[in-house]
Structure 1
Amino acid sequence: MFNNREEASINSIQTCDSENECNEVEDEDDLTKIIPPEVEDTKLWPKTRYILGVLGFLGFANVYAMRVNLSVAIVSMINHTAFPQPSTNSNIYDHCPANTPTNNTKPSQNGEFDWDESTQGIVLGSFFYGYVLTQIPGGRFAELFGGKLVYGIGVLLTGIFTILSPIAARTNFTLFIIVRVLEGMGEGVTFPAMHAMLARWIPPLERSKFAAYVYAGTNFGTVISLPLSGWLCSLEFMGGWPLSFYLFGVLGVIWFIFWVFLVYDTPSSHPRIDRQEQAYILASIGPQDEEKGPIPWWNMLTCVPLWAILITQCGQNWAFYTLLTELPTYMDQILHFDIESNAILSSLQYLTSWWFGVACSIFADWLLGKGYLSQSTSYKLWNSVASIIPSVGLLIVAWLGCDRISVQWVLAISGAFGGAVYAGNQMNHIALSPKYAGTMYGITNAAANTCGFLAPFVVGRIINGRETLGQWRMVFYLAAGINMGANLFYVAFGSAREQPWSRSQRLSSAN
Structure 2
Amino acid sequence: MNLKNYHQRFYQFLSRWIPMRIWICVMMFTCCWTSYACRLQMPILVVPMIEEPPINHTIGGVCVFDESARRRRDVVSFLDPGSYVEEYILDRVQEERDQRLHRRQATRSMIRPPDAPIEFFSGLPFDWSPTVRGQLLASYSYGNVPGNFIGGWLSLRYGPRRAVLWTSILAALISLVSPFLAQYHWGLLLSSRIIIGITGGVTFPACHTMVAKWAPPHERARFIWSLLGGTFGTILTYPMIAGIAENINWECGWYIPSLLMLAWIFVWALLAYDSPVEHPGITAEEKDYILTAQAGIVRTEKPTWKQTPLRQMLTSVPFISLIICHFGNLFLLFFYQNSLMLYLTKALGFQLTKGGAAAGAPWGARMLFGFFFSWAGDTIKRRQFISVTLLRKLATIFSHLLPGVFLVLVGYVGCDFVLANVFLFFALGFNGAALISNLSNNQDLAPNFAGFLYGIMNTIGSSSGMIIPPIVEEIAGKYGNPIDRWQILFWIGAAVCIGSMIVFLFGGSGNIQSWNELRPINRPKDDVEARQTNLEPSDNIAQT
Q: Same fold (TM over 0.5)?
A: yes
Aligned length: 458
1:50-93 deviation digits (Å, cap 9, x = unpaired): 1111011111111101211222211111112xx24123xx433x
The 2-side partners of 1:352 and 1:219 are apart by 9
Separation in structure 1 between the aligned mates of residue 128 and residue 19 of structure 2, nearest angstrom: 50
2:67 equivalent to 1:53: no
Give unpaired runs (5+ residues) of structure 1. 1-42
Return closer, same or farther for 1:508/1:377 CA change in 2, 3 Å cut-off: farther
Which whole-Å CA distance do the structure 2 matches of 1:244 and 1:394 have between them?
29
Name the residue aligned to 2:63: 96
Of 335, 347, 350, which residue of structure 1 is paired with 2:363? 350
Does 1:250 pair with 2:259? yes
Contact 2:96 2:350 in 1 (8 A): no
Q: Could you tell me which amino acid in structure 2 is paired with residue 218 of structure 1?
A: G
Q: Percent identity?
A: 26
Distance in 1, matches of 2:416 and 2:47, equals: 22
Question: 2:503 maps to what in 1?
Answer: 489
On the 8 A contact 2:307/2:518 being kept in 1, the answer is no
Counterpart for residue 79 of structure 1 = 51
Q: CA deviation at 1:154?
A: 2.3
* Structure 1 counterpart of 2:100: 107
For 1:462, the equivalent position in structure 2 comes to 475
- Mapping of residues 125-274 of structure 1, within 5 Å: 125-212=138-225, 214-235=226-247, 237=248, 240-274=249-283
Runs of 5+ consecutive residues of structure 2 not aligned to the other structure: 1-14, 66-89, 105-123, 524-544
Contact 2:152 2:451 in 1 (8 A): yes
Match of 2:489 in 1: 475
2:120 paired residue number: none
Aligned-partner Cα distance in 1 for 2:183–2:243 = 21
| Per-residue deviation, 1:385 | 0.8
Alpha-carbon shift at residue 155 of structure 1 (Å): 2.2
1:356–1:436: structure 2 CA closer, same or farther, 3 Å change rule?
Answer: same
CA contact (8 A) 1:137 1:439 kept: no
Q: Structure 1, residues 146-167: CA drift from partner, whole Å, max 9, x if none?
A: 1110122222222121112111
Cα deviations by residue, 1:266-285 (Å, 9 ceiling, x for unpaired): 11111111111101111111
Contact 2:152–2:206 (Cα < 8 Å) also in 1: yes
Q: Which residue of 1 aligns with 2:514?
A: 500
Output aligned runs, 1:253-402, within 5 Å.
Answer: 253-286=262-295, 287-292=299-304, 293-402=306-415
Asked whether the 8 Å contact 1:364–1:423 carries over to 2, the reply is yes
C-alpha distance in structure 1 between counterparts of 2:344 and 2:147, whole Å:
32
Query: 1:330-389, CA deviations, whole angstroms, 9 ceiling, x for partnerless residues?
Result: 111111111111111011100111111012101111111111122111111222211111
Q: Which amino acid aligns with 1:153?
A: W
CA distance in 1, matches of 2:519, 2:440: 21
For the residue of structure 2 that corresponds to 1:401, the secondary structure is coil
Deviation string 1:311-334 (CA, Å, 9 cap, x unpaired) is 111111112111211111111111
Segment of structure 1 superposing worse, 63-72 or 194-203: 63-72
Structure 1 residue 508: Cα displacement: 11
| CA shift in 2, pair 1:507/1:210, >3 Å | farther
How far apart are 1:102 and its partner, in Å? 4.3
Q: What is aligned with 2:130? A: 117
SS of 2:161's equivalent in the other structure is helix
TM-superposition CA deviations, 1:182-201 (whole Å, max 9, x none):
11111111110111111111
Question: CA 1:296 to 1:103, structure 2 compared with 1: closer, same or farther past 3 Å?
Answer: closer
Q: Which of these residues, 425, 440, 443, is aligned with residue 453 of structure 2?
A: 440
How much does 1:106 deviate?
Answer: 5.1
TM superposition shift of 1:290: 3.7
Shift of 1:454: 0.7
Instruction: Classify the secondary structure of the residue corresponding to 1:153.
Output: helix
The Cα of 1:507 is off from its aligned counterpart by 12
**How far apart, CA to CA, are the structure 1 residues paired with 2:397 and 2:427?**
13
Q: CA RMSD in A?
A: 2.0
CA distance in 2, matches of 1:56, 1:451: 24
What does 1:30-45 correspond to in 2, within 5 Å? 45=17
Tell whether 2:36 aligns with 1:64: yes
Distance in 2 separating the partners of 1:339 and 1:248: 18
Structure 2 residue aligned with 1:415: 428
8 Å Cα contact 2:344-2:350 kept in structure 1 = yes
Judge conservation of contact 1:201–1:281 (CA < 8 Å) in 2. Answer: yes
> Conserved in 2, the CA contact under 8 Å of 1:136 and 1:442?
yes
CA-CA distance at 1:487 after TM superposition = 0.6
Report the alpha carbon displacement of residue 291 of structure 1 after superposing the two structures with TM.
Answer: 4.8
**Alpha-carbon distance in 2 for matches of 1:417, 1:285:** 30
Whichever residue aligns with residue 139 of structure 2, its letter is S
Match of 1:40 in 2: none
Contact between 1:154 and 1:188, CA under 8 Å: does it hold in 2? no
The change in CA–CA distance for 1:481 and 1:102 in structure 2 (over 3 A counts) is: closer
Deviations 1:133-179 (A, max 9, x none): 12112112212221110122222222121112111111111111111
CA distance in 1, matches of 2:521, 2:437: 27
Matches of 1:74 and 1:141 in 2, distance apart? 31
Query: What amino acid is the match of 1:505?
Result: R
- How far apart in 2 are the matches of 1:50 and 1:106? 48
- Partner deviation per Cα, 1:455-490 (whole Å, 9 max, x = no partner): 111111212511222211110000001100001101
- Measured against aligned partners, the alpha-carbon deviations of 1:397-452 in whole angstroms (never above 9, x if no partner) come to 11111111110111112321111111111121121112211111111101000111
